[in-house]
């Protein structure tokens, strides 16, 4: 079952199978669909063995970085210390809305994955950090947790296993940066959401200073399927010639496209077929001009590049971009790329936590210059200045928000330079007036 | 972040109006059932401080915004300084540091929605609410309209949030109907 569109024959719905099916939201409905079998099995299995199965399955993090999940878990040893599991449900990368649908339609699927992972990393307590704007997902997941406690699925004797598993839901309050793992931990501790310097890594000193594992919603929701069906079953999904990208992935598609929504395909799917067959291609009488395939922080592709791309971690890298979070943003031939890239940089300027100078100043100045060019007030030196600022922002800060702002500017300048130059050539003013730092709609 | 980046000298949301509301006496929020609910939340964490975001949500849900008096109350319960609490409040965009209209309307205008015409929705919203400009409240105290960064519902452009409710696929034309359904 798909949502909001019907499932396409070429999709592989595992996580999205019950999207749109309201009954799957309840504990009874979830159990009737085979839910919590994996958790029951896992709670009676040694955590070491669970770590090995997930490692063997080849599952990689679905939040953006693609770190192997089993390896992340294997950093957690039975050392007698208090451990924590964090579920990152702060989905806020522009273009991405997959975790939202997982939480809205299959909240028990997430609770099951969270409880299972907590056991697998020797943790008794798990926190699900949901972004503040996601009021409906928050309500659904909270209701699922309450139902699970009432039924003894969670608590001091989870599913009769004798294991103690607590899951708590924590609501954020509006900050993109809290999707960065250490910022999320600071936010959960009741602090400003500033990312922390690493090392120490969360596995050594994370939430409340204790060893912590943090995984994305989609990753954790996948795990029960792997535990239930085995690592070998999971390995069938993916390109035969690329064993490094295994499994299915939810892609959120938005922008100028006929059928926006979430699509779940096996990794290795041809991006051209995805865009034109599954998503219905561009709107009538329009052409696709550019695509950002993995959330706003990854390099922009031209239509030609996108049509040749393969949808997995390595495939997108080969095309000069990244899989990221799987948020596909489509731009058609009506779009002014300077304007849209300027809007993206404004996003990063607004969301910078402001603790690193390169990011605080860089995101703001890039936005000013981009908006100046957009408004026909740019000069040819501005393009060199943009490159210089972007270079000064890349690889020099505590987290990658700064790099993420530089990325669309650099890739946009490389691939759509003619649009920048046309705007600058049209500037006939004698004196350059700096663009006001205000939303254009105001 | 709710403050504008330093090089800009501006912000997405207009400056807070300083007025009589700052001097109104604070009526405690955390009494009776609300205090019990907060204590239940506190029991989930190893530190009192970790209950700060939930406590601020409870405060805002009860009063409509996070006032100085509310900050004092929260800081006493959680054993933090008011200055510290204020520092946290000012980091997160969803806590209102001044009163807002009864219907707080946030329109997503980040790139995925922008390419689908979100800025026209903002204009329509400003026209039909009479708010005049972003961040200002209409004269009758009914509406405040702001632009918001990515609401995470990009496939349903343009999504807006009215207080805690999402409305998806909003167009400039559907704005009057949406507003007419608000009381």
Task: Give the CATH number for residue A210.
Answer: 3.40.50.11540
Residue A419: CATH number of its domain: 1.20.1440.230
Residue A179 has pLDDT above 50, yes or no: yes
Q: What's the mean pLDDT when you consider all of chain B?
A: 89
Separation in Å, CA of B49 to nearest CA in chain A: 5
* Interface subset of B 16-35, CB within 8 angstroms of A: none
User: For the ranges A52-66, A125-139, A421-435, B168-182, which has the lowest average pLDDT?
Assistant: A421-435
Query: Is pLDDT larger for residue B26 or for residue A346?
Result: A346
ipTM: 0.93
Q: What is the assigned CATH class of domain B20-89?
A: mainly alpha
**Contacting residues of A for B79, CB less than 8 Å apart:** none
Residue A243 lies in a domain: no
List chain B domain ranges. 20-89, 103-180
Contact B156 A442 (CB under 8 A): no
Residue B138 has pLDDT above 80, yes or no: yes
Residue A377 lies in a domain: yes
d(CA A1, CA B151): 24
Residue A187 lies in a domain: yes
d(CA B95, CA A211): 31
Q: Which of B6, B45, B111, B164 is the best mutation test for A, with the most CBs of A within 10 A?
A: B111
Q: What's the mean pLDDT when you consider all of chain A?
A: 95
Last residue of a domain, one of A205, A234, A263: A234
Per this entry, what is the length of chain A?
442
Task: Answer yes or no: are the C-beta atoms of A67 and A203 closer than 8 Å.
Answer: no
Place of tokens 């008096």: B69
Residue A10 lies in a domain: no
How many distinct structural domains can be found in chain A? 3
Q: What is the assigned CATH class of domain B103-180?
A: alpha beta
Q: Does A44 share its domain with A92? A: yes
The DSSP call for residue A209 is G
Residue A414 tokens, joined? 């490389």
pLDDT digits (tens, 9 = 90+) for B48-85: 999 999 999 999 999 999 999 999 999 999 999 999 99
Query: Is pLDDT larger for residue A64 or for residue A30?
Result: A30
Separation in Å, CA of B52 to nearest CA in chain A: 5
Mean pLDDT of B32-61: 97
| Nearest residue of chain B to residue A170 (CA atoms) | B54
3-state secondary structure of A235: coil
A vs B, Cβ pairs < 8 A, gives: 193
Residue A376 has pLDDT above 80, yes or no: yes
Residue B5 has pLDDT above 60, yes or no: no
Q: Which of A81, A170, A350, A354 is the best mutation test for B, with the most CBs of B within 10 A?
A: A350
Q: Does A184 share its domain with A55? A: yes
Separation in Å, CA of A352 to nearest CA in chain B: 7
| Nearest residue of chain B to residue A193 (CA atoms) | B91
Residue A8 lies in a domain: no
Residue A328 lies in a domain: yes
Last residue of a domain, one of A211, A234, A257: A234
Please, is A229 exposed, middle or buried when counting C-beta atoms within 10 Å of its C-beta (0-12, 13-18, 19+)? middle
DSSP A69-133: HHHHHHT----SS--EEEEEE---STT--HHHHHHHH-HHHHHHHHHHHHHHTT-SEEEEEE-TT
- Report how far apart, in Å, the C-alpha atoms of B80 and of each of A219, B86, B99 are: 36, 10, 24
Residue A270 has pLDDT above 90, yes or no: yes
Q: Does A228 share its domain with A100? A: yes
Pairing label, strands A288-292, A212-216:
unpaired
Please, is A113 exposed, middle or buried when counting C-beta atoms within 10 Å of its C-beta (0-12, 13-18, 19+)? buried
Q: Does A191 share its domain with A220? A: yes
Residue A312: CATH number of its domain: 3.10.20.600
- Residue A76 — very low, low, confident or very high, per pLDDT cuts 50/70/90? very high
Tell me if the pTM is above 0.90: yes
DSSP chain B: --SPPTTT---SSPPPPPSGGGGSPPPP-SSHHHHHHHHHHHTTSSSSGGGHHHHHHHHHHHHSS--HHHHHHHHHHHT--HHHHHHHHTT-TTS-SS---SEEEEEE-SHHHHTTTHHHHHHHHHHHHT--STT-B-TTS-EEEEEES--S-GGGSSPEEETTEEE-S--GGGHHHHHHT--
Q: Does A73 share its domain with A26? A: yes
A197 is in which domain, residue-wise? 22-234
- Sequence-separated (6 or more) residues with CB below 8 Å from residue A297: A64, A93, A324, A400, A403, A404, A407
């Amino acid at each position: 079952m798909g949502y909001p569109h019907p499932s396409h024959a070429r999709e592989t719905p595992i996580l999205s199978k019950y999207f749109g099916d309201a009954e799957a939201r309840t504990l009874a409905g979830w159990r009737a669909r085979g839910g919590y079998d994996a958790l029951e099995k896992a709670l009676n299995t040694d955590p070491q063995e669970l770590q090995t199965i997930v490692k063997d399955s080849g599952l990689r993090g679905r939040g953006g970085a693609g770190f192997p999940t089993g390896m992340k878990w294997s950093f957690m040893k039975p050392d007698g210390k208090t451990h924590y599991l964090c579920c990152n449900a702060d989905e806020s990368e522009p273009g991405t809305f997959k975790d939202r649908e997982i939480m809205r339609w299959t909240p028990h699927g997430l609770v099951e994955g969270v409880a299972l992972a907590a056991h697998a990393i020797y943790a008794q307590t798990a926190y699900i950090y949901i972004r503040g704007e996601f009021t409906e997902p928050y309500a659904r997941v909270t209701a699922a947790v309450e139902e699970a406690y009432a039924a003894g699925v969670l608590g001091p004797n989870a599913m009769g296993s004798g294991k103690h598993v607590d899951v708590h839901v924590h609501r954020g309050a509006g900050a993109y940066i809290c999707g960065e793992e250490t910022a999320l931990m600071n936010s959960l501790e009741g602090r400003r959401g500033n990312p922390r310097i690493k090392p120490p890594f969360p596995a050594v000193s994370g939430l409340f200073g204790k060893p912590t594992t943090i995984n994305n919603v989609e990753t954790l929701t996948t795990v029960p399927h792997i535990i239930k069906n085995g690592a070998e079953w999971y390995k069938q999904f993916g390109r035969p010639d690329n064993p490094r990208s295994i499994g299915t992935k939810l892609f959120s598609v938005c922008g100028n496209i006929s059928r926006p929504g979430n699509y779940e395909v096996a990794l290795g799917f041809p991006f051209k077929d995805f865009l034109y067959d599954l998503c219905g291609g561009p709107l009538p009488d329009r052409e696709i001009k550019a695509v950002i395939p993995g959330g706003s922080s990854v390099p922009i592709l031209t239509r030609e590049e996108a049509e040749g791309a393969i949808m997995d971690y390595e495939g997108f890298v080969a095309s000069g971009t990244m899989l990221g979070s799987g948020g596909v943003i489509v731009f058609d031939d009506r779009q002014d790329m300077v304007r849209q890239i300027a809007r993206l940089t404004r996003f990063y300027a607004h969301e910078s936590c402001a603790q690193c100078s390169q990011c605080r100043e860089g995101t703001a100045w890039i936005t000013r210059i981009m908006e100046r060019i957009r408004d026909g007030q740019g000069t040819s030196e501005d393009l060199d200045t943009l490159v210089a600022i972007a270079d000064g922002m890349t690889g020099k800060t505590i987290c990658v928000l700064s790099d993420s702002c530089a990325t669309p500017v650099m890739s946009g300048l490389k691939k759509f330079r003619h649009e920048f130059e046309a705007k600058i050539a049209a500037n006939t003013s004698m004196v350059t007036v700096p663009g006001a730092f205000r939303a254009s709609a105001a | 972040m709710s403050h504008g980046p330093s090089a800009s000298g501006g912000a997405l949301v207009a400056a807070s109006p300083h007025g009589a509301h700052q001097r109104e006496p604070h009526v405690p929020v955390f009494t009776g059932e609300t205090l019990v609910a907060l204590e239940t939340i506190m029991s989930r964490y190893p530190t009192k401080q970790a209950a700060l975001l939930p406590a601020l949500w409870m405060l805002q849900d009860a009063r409509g915004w996070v006032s100085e008096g509310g900050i004092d109350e929260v800081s006493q319960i959680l054993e933090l300084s008011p200055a510290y609490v204020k520092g946290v409040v000012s980091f997160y965009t969803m806590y209102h540091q001044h009163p807002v209209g009864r219907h707080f309307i946030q329109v997503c205008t980040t790139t995925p929605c922008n390419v689908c015409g979100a800025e026209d929705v903002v204009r329509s919203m400003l026209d039909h609410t009479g708010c005049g400009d972003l961040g200002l409240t209409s004269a009758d105290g009914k509406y405040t309209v702001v632009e918001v960064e990515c609401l995470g519902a990009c496939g349903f452009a343009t999504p807006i949030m009215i207080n805690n409710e999402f409305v998806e696929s909003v167009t400039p034309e559907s704005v009057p109907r949406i507003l007419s359904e608000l009381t």
